[in-house]
Amino acid sequence: MRDIDCKTFQDKVDELLVRHRSILDVLSKFQESNARVNRSVVKAVTNCGCINITASKKDLPPDIDLEQMKNFMETHLQGKLCDSCKEIIEMELGNNLFYLVSLCNLLNLDLSEILKKEYGKISILGKFNLS
Ligand SMILES: [Zn+2]
């Protein structure tokens, strides 16, 4: 399949968004789809077991700078998604994107412009000011 640009995706979502056209439907479906993304990751841990989460408080050396901090930070993830879990999580993320773009469409927001602004912001701020 060819790469898809933001405008093509936004136009397709607009074409398909008939049933849940109300902003109330889109907001609640967007939130629901986000919860389903999180649940699919949790199920990869608790039902499948292809990934594990191990977390504990991290004690950082007192004089550490932000550049050195990345050497001490962890993802708390072990393992690798199996094909089945990967497929499910990708499907849930795709559904979440659908409602994100639906929200953009209803509010006349250009996803490409949002990406550009965010890219510019993170490029200027770098890793030091993200929270
Ligand atoms: Zn799995």
- CATH architecture of the domain formed by 6-128: Orthogonal Bundle (1.10)
User: 75 CA to middle of ligand 1, Å?
Assistant: 18
The more confident residue out of 72 and 110 is: 110
* Structure confidence at residue 130 (pLDDT): 52
User: 107 CA to middle of ligand 1, Å?
Assistant: 37
CB atoms within 10 A of CB 92: 19
Reported as type and span, the H/E element at residue 9 is helix 6-16
Alpha carbon distance 40, 42 (integer Å): 5
- Express each pLDDT in 43-96 by its tens digit: 999 999 999 999 988 888 888 887 787 777 888 999 999 999 999 999 999 999
> Could you give the angle at which helices 111-125 and 6-16 cross, rounded to 10 degrees?
140
> Which two three-digit tokens encode residue 77?
């993830």
CB atoms within 10 A of CB 108: 6
Q: Where are the domains of the chain?
A: 6-128
User: 84 CA to middle of ligand 1, Å?
Assistant: 6
